[in-house]
Chain A
């Protein structure tokens, strides 16, 4: 690999010369440590109940579909009916996520369930989520050994299981939750904020769904 250290020295040197300082700044270091919030719009600063409603409304606006379920136990039925309703094969690729372990897939023997990262042949995936952001109706998904990112992008249909308590107001709230996990400041390899299904307006500015990623995003919002 080429050594770019002289370029590094020159670029940083040039910047410091233009800024007239060589020390770096305490103000900047402090900002990194404290990560203060900027102005956060009032829209999503609501009681959690209303945040959930806002989340549903915003997600629906961007062409995601949302179904509310009383319990995780209802997920297999909901998935099977959703796929059947669209005449899609009853086959799902599920994230090997401990958070989804409580789902009783075997209650729906007609549903073919396999676990792992997505393969090109997978038509539908089921994953969990880390949070739902009410302000924009976005889902926040973290990568990890139990949560392969390919499931979020390769299949045509992406079904996401989100629990009610996972709904937060804003992206800032979601960052706070992530930081609160304690794995001190480490971001997972990939954090996806997903707002509706894949889309493109690249041909004559007409919005079409399903460009490269899923053309359907179905959210199962489960009470907890």
Chain B
């Protein structure tokens, strides 16, 4: 997927004038917010669990090599394979290689953000394979050739009417006069169509919410059960996961799972939490004959030891975007690539570079709501600020902004001059604005006055009035 992150302001404008999207955004995130809050309130230990989650992931990152090696040894020892991949290209090639070796034609897929990150669908298609997303939301947007707009609810920007249209276009072998006006019917249709695909598939690709070093297991968490059908029906199960998803033990998985479902959907637990360990065992009547884990780095190890290390604690729950007022205004597509919302504003500059993704860490008011709900207590605003520092160092910010702030800072470092200059400015502005008490237009402030009035200053600075008062006393 070609990123359009550099065009965030245009993307945002488009999203803001998209009435259908605005309708969804007015309701959906609030639903997530309420459900998360209820779930968190119901568990007295929730905040303490967040502390432990943070500490656990810090410990994992400080021992990442040990845990990855232990994981690998367990996977291999149980007849599975681990493929280490430095880049997205290496991961695509590894997966294609597995598919080729299996003589695969049809590949079913469970929901996986990392698979979006490496753009595996396009790659498999270009190489003559047919990848099929099986998570209902992902399936819908795959049919529409759209990227996901949310990491938990990829199609939440669409209405049932949109879905109906998409299904009529795609499922041409079904009677055109069938009635498709209810989500139930739409879901049933997708279920039937996808059942056939599950049976045809030679390879099933899933992501992993967690990997467990102790046992060599990978874990997926879903509500639909598609991830399970994806891995038990085809001959080959490929797990694509990034290196930071590892936790030490089954007990540690329990900790993360308590945080994940509550933060993501407000559920106590998702319907299906599945631990997969190696290929099928002798005597098993079902399950994959091959088990592959494609371990992706793609720039993550380079974040270790930097000011961005903490972002690697992320468990991709989506709470930060559900609570983000910027995401709530523009939705996921405006972010122009795989990861939207605050986590995207920190991850995308790391994965795409600040040149491509520099807007995202700037498009934040630092309101701090994301950090306040992040189950892993990732200081997202602080990290966005660090990206701004990188941009500043590289001189990537707009010249006018730099100049304006530079001038401001120059005065602010010189208190006497500062007070004299502000006195003058305020007197002039105050005199101009006295008639109405505000400005509808103001030179150099179009960004402000385009949408709102600028209240006029009172006419004197506080410092000036204070000095006058003190003089009198």
Contacts and interface: CB of A to CB of B under 8 A. Distances in A.
On whether A and B touch (CB less than 8 Å), the answer reads yes
Interface of A: 1-2, 4-5, 7-8, 10-12, 14-16, 18-20, 24-25, 27-29, 31-32, 35-43, 58, 61-62, 96, 116-118, 120, 135-138, 143-145, 148-150, 152-154, 170-172, 175, 185-206, 208, 210-214
Interface string B273-287: 111111111111111
B217 A150 contact: no
A24 B69 contact: yes
A205 B153 contact: yes
A168 to B, nearest CB: 12
A190 B257 contact: no
A99 B255 CA distance: 31
Nearest to B198: A212
A12 to B, nearest CB: 5
B226 interface: yes
20 contacts: A7-B90, A11-B297, A32-B213, A39-B45, A39-B48, A40-B254, A41-B49, A43-B43, A62-B268, A116-B285, A137-B269, A143-B287, A153-B232, A189-B280, A189-B287, A193-B274, A202-B136, A202-B153, A202-B156, A210-B188
Listed from nearest, the 5 A-B pairs whose CB atoms lie closest are: A213-B225, A145-B283, A211-B224, A18-B304, A202-B137
A136 B272 CA distance: 12
A38 B250 CA distance: 11
Contacts of B295: 11
Contact of B272 (A32, A117, A170, A194): A194
Nearest to B309: A18
Interface in B176-193: 183-184, 186-188, 191
B11 interface: no
Of A10, A19, A62, A203, the most chain B CB neighbours within 10 A belong to A203
Interface in B233-247: 233, 243
Contact of A35 (B136, B158, B251): B251
B183 A208 contact: yes
A150 B286 contact: yes
Interface string B253-277: 0110110000001011111111111
A7 B297 CA distance: 9
B269 A195 contact: yes
B214 interface: yes
Contacts of B305: 18-20
Nearest to B232: A149
Given A202-B140, A212-B224, 18 more contacts: A1-B97, A7-B90, A11-B68, A11-B301, A12-B68, A35-B250, A38-B251, A138-B269, A143-B284, A143-B287, A185-B214, A189-B284, A190-B276, A195-B273, A200-B223, A202-B137, A211-B191, A212-B194
B232 to A, nearest CB: 5
Interface of B: 27-28, 31, 43-45, 48-49, 52, 56, 59, 62-70, 78, 81, 83-86, 90, 93-94, 97-98, 101, 134-137, 140, 153-156, 158-160, 163, 183-184, 186-188, 191, 194-195, 199, 213-217, 223-226, 228-229, 232-233, 243, 248-252, 254-255, 257-258, 265, 267-287, 295, 297, 301-302, 304-305
Contacts of A31: 59, 248-249
A124 to B, nearest CB: 16
Contact of A25 (B66, B160, B254, B280): B66
A8 B90 CA distance: 12
Nearest to A12: B65
Contact of A212 (B97, B191, B268): B191
A205 B277 contact: no
A187 B187 contact: no
Given A190-B232, A195-B270, A12 B69 contact: yes
A2 B271 contact: no
B224 A14 contact: no
B269 A145 contact: no
Contacts of A38: 49, 52, 56, 251-252, 254-255
Contacts of B188: 210
Contacts of A61: 268
A16 B136 CA distance: 40
Of B83, B85, B216, B273, the most chain A CB neighbours within 10 A belong to B273
A190 B277 CA distance: 6
B274 A201 contact: no
Nearest to A154: B229
A175 B251 contact: yes
Contacts of B97: 1-2
Contacts of A10: 86
Contacts of A198: 223-225, 271-272
B229 A212 contact: yes
Of A8, A27, A35, A208, the most chain B CB neighbours within 10 A belong to A8
Contacts of B52: 38-39
Nearest to A196: B271
Nearest to B85: A7
Contact of A194 (B158, B271, B275, B282): B271
Contacts of A15: 64-65, 68, 301, 304
Contact of B98 (A1, A58, A199): A1
